[in-house]
Amino acid sequence: MNTNSSRRSALKNIIGGAAVATSPLTFSEVFAANEKALGAALNGKINHSACRWCYKDVPLEDLCKAAVAMGIKSIELQGPDEWPILKKYGLTCAMPWGAGKGINDGFNDPKNHDELVQSYEEIFPKLKAAGLDKVICFSGNRRGMSDEQGLANCVKGLKRLMPSAEKYGITMTMELLNSKVNHKDYMCDTTPWGVALCDAVGSENFKLLYDIYHMQIMEGDVIATIKKYNKYFSHYHTGGVPGRNEIDDTQELNYPAIMKAIVDTGYKGFVGQEFIPKRTDVLASLKQGVTICDIA
């Protein structure tokens, strides 16, 4: 499909039919021409974020402009090179990265500890200087290791970092991922395991990223889990189940009810949209996701 035609179509959906020029235009040109029409009046109970990798074909600055127009306050899973671009548009990075060895090689293997500790200690001052207060981390894959041993290994590695994390005011946040569909063999794949790790680390600067999509696949009971364990969660991600696509009525989760449960816990952080749009009009899907989650 023609790229400019696709962009115009997406923008028509976002602005509800506002006029878009028929000649080839960039996102930047269209946003500049339709700034008022694109403006979003959100309810303010949810701080909205978008995960960059889900919109990789949209240039970052254009995604920033779209985010601002929709009322989104953050574009996340970005490293230090991208943070100044976000700041240029008044956006934050609610869940940064820029340290570690990736999802498969994490804190459950002591062979990784020295390298992990060095990389996170290097990123902490950069995060603080940029006005950011979180960073993502991962358990790593089991590779035949028991969950008990993996937890003990994670505790050893993470405790080495807690003094620095506390010094710089950074919350290391380990993501809960499913090991059934997307991340085979990943260790931090249930909420109780992650909660046990938080308790063993024993610092308010280590918490969990509760990914609703992943945990619906692994254990269900999303709302009950949020009510029971919310103090351990520093961030949330969305995604449609099954398929990890749009969070609309094509999937099984009731996102307005989930957002209400999150708000009822007193949570003041961000909810990151992390679904993979099936539609060609990816920004229309993002706008729809934000609207669904923007409870009154």
* Residues 223-238: tens digit of each pLDDT: 999 999 999 999 999 9
* Residues 61-105: tens digit of each pLDDT: 999 999 999 999 999 999 999 999 999 999 999 999 999 999 999
pLDDT of residue 119: 98
Residue 16 lies in a domain: no
Strand order in the sheet with 270-273: 74-76, 47-51, 270-273, 233-237, 206-211, 171-175, 134-137
Name, in order, each residue with C-beta under 8 angstroms of 226's C-beta and a sequence gap of 6 or more.
210, 233, 258, 261, 262, 265
pLDDT of residue 63: 97
Domain of 134, in residue numbers:
43-293
Q: Give Cα 147 to chain centroid, integer Å.
A: 25
Q: At what angle do helices 191-201 and 147-168 cross, to 10 degrees?
A: 50
Residue 105 lies in a domain: yes
Least confident of 26-35, 58-67, 125-134: 26-35
From residue 94, alpha-carbon distances to 50, 66, 81, 294 in Å are 9, 17, 15, 17
pLDDT of residue 40: 54
Residue 144 has pLDDT above 90, yes or no: yes
Residue 260 has pLDDT above 90, yes or no: yes
* Residues 152-196: tens digit of each pLDDT: 999 999 999 999 999 999 999 999 999 999 999 999 999 999 999
Residue 270 has pLDDT above 90, yes or no: yes
Residue 24 has pLDDT above 60, yes or no: no
Residue 24 lies in a domain: no
pLDDT of residue 49: 98
Residue 22 has pLDDT above 90, yes or no: no
Could you give the CA distance from residue 202 to residue 199 in angstroms, rounded to a whole number? 5
Residue 229 lies in a domain: yes
Residue 248 lies in a domain: yes
Peptide bond preceding 125: is omega within 30 degrees of 0, i.e. cis?
Answer: no
Residue 255 has pLDDT above 70, yes or no: yes
131-139 mean pLDDT: 98
* Residues 203-216: tens digit of each pLDDT: 999 999 999 999 99
What is the token pair recorded at 97? 């990265």
Residue 13 lies in a domain: no
Residue 25 lies in a domain: no
String of DSSP letters for the chain:
--HHHHHHHHHHHHHTS----SS---HHHHHHHTHHHH-----SSSEEEEEGGGGTTS-HHHHHHHHHHHT--EEES--TTTHHHHHHTT-B-SS----SS-SSS-TTSGGGHHHHHHHHHHHHHHHHHTT--EEEE---B-TT--HHHHHHHHHHHHHHHHHHHHHHT-EEEEEP--TTTTSTTBS--SHHHHHHHHHHH--TTEEEEEEHHHHHHHT--HHHHHHHHGGGEEEEE---TTTS---STTSS--HHHHHHHHHHTT--SEEEE-----SS-HHHHHHHHHHHH---
Residue 81 lies in a domain: yes
Q: What is the CATH number of the domain that holds 108?
A: 3.20.20.150
Encoded amino acid at 203, one letter: S
Residue 20 has pLDDT above 60, yes or no: no
Q: Are 239 and 19 in contact (CB under 8 A)?
A: no
Based on the structure, what is the number of domains in the chain? 1
pLDDT of residue 84: 96
Categorize the per-residue pLDDT at 41 as very low, low, confident or very high, splitting at 50, 70 and 90.
confident
